[in-house]
Amino acid sequence: MWHCEEVELTETSVKPGPERLGPHCFELLRVLGTGGYGKVFQVRKVQGTNVGKIYAMKVLRKDELVRSAKDVAHTQAERRILGSVKHPFIVELAYAFQTRAKLYLVLECLSGGDLFTHLQRKGILLEDTACFYLAEITLALGHLHSQGIVYRDLKPENIMLDSQGHIKLTDFGFCKESIHQGAVTHTFCGTTEYMAPEIVVRRGHNRAVDWWSLGVLMYEMLTGSPPFTAENRKKTMDKIIKGKLRLPLYLTPDARDLVKKFLKRNPRRRIGGGPGDAADVQRHPFFRHIHWDDLLARRVDPPFRPCLQSEEDVSQFDTRFTRQAPVDSPDDTALSESANQAFLGFTYVGPRSWTASPELRSPRRLTSSPLKFSPFEGFRPSPGPPEPMEPPLCPLLPAPLAPAPPPPSSNVPLPIRPPPQGKYRFATNKYLSKQQEQKKLHY
């Protein structure tokens, strides 16, 4: 009755979806860091796409997170931001998945180590070197702010270097979303030495806090320590609020001026605190030798390139971690169904992690001429004059009010009523909670 071509359904002829991921898809190689909620491993992918590629895998324990609603909200925010923000100087998320007891964030492996370790080794940086890193961080912060995201945890431990020596911001657990020009938030969070005064006094803050932290980081790069430190947390906060800023005499006038403008206690007078945001910072004379378009395109050579023997080289990481046995604890703590609802939507597969084949057309089509089916060309009528089609013995899809079918002698094809479209309901999980301070896990 029909002139059809049989097509075998294979991986090449059917559109694939994202692969199903689990811990079994990765081989643990080294420990890169530890924290209150879990560990960060260097891993190699052993199944699915990108077999053999090296990643950093951040493992978080659910039973620790669910003790604080704020910690759950921070973790979900980090996952959302990593999945949505793409920038040359922000770490890239490749995969995210979960098991009964754990959450897994699989990130690009930044084998150059963290800036904190390099500062410890070098003591202080030359102004040209500091200018390069500060310029790349400025572009990263400017991009986050353009998306309504305040970073709020800028410090050397959260700034990594890739294998080429370019910086990447990591650890987005303290980020706040939907903070655009004029909006404020009141969360007390961050690392004490890098907190802006408006966070310490809890009078509400916005994206200007990131420029204060960048000023603290600049001061530390050029002098070897943050500008406001003391023997305990309370005294450090007191210095942040009312301590005098002391600048070394060896700093150039441009460096001194920029540090002073970053560390203005009034956020409205702080450089970057106005509507211009990062553009105001970029125009400062300290960055007069920076070609911003070339820097964004990574066409500027970094001042330091890590000496790495292979993609698996972990020599730039602290040996306290890399010497540990890479063992992921057993996944034997199952949460209740209601507790697991807090982690809905956590799974993620990055756009570079899988590719789809060309979309195929549906073979359910009726015309007045025989059809030939090609999986890559869709349907085409065969050449030659149209032939009369014999009607079926009964209607294919009867409808209650459909007109009576034509007599058997008619050459007109029977009318087909398309099936009603399905209705789909999507459930969303909104998580609201009071602010609490979060334990940290650094990568």
CB 43 within 8 A of CB 28: yes
- Alpha-helix runs per DSSP H in 204-291: 208-223, 233-242, 253-262, 278-282
User: Amino acid identity of 96?
Assistant: A
Give dist(CA 80, CA 73) in Å, integer. Answer: 11
Query: Residue 165 gets which letter from DSSP?
Result: S
The H-or-E segment that residue 169 falls in is strand 167-169
Determine the distance from the C-alpha atom of residue 86 to the mean position of all C-alpha atoms in its chain, rounded to a whole number.
7
CB atoms under 10 Å from CB of 192, counted, come to 17
CA dihedral sign, ordered 281, 267, 223, 187: negative
**SS3 at position 160:** strand
Residue 331 known to be catalytic = no
CB 224 within 8 A of CB 123: yes
**SS3 at position 167:** strand
Among candidates 78, 84, 18, which has minimal Cα distance to 50? 18
Which listed residue (114, 153, 162, 171) is catalytic? 153
Give dist(CA 71, CA 438) in Å, integer. Answer: 6
CB 420 within 8 A of CB 439: no
264 is in an annotated binding site: no
**SS3 at position 293:** helix
Beta strand pairing call for 348-349 and 167-169:
unpaired
CA dihedral 281, 286, 290, 293 (to 10 degrees): 10
Catalytic residues: 153
Q: Binding site: residue ranges?
A: 58
Bind-site residues for ATP: 58
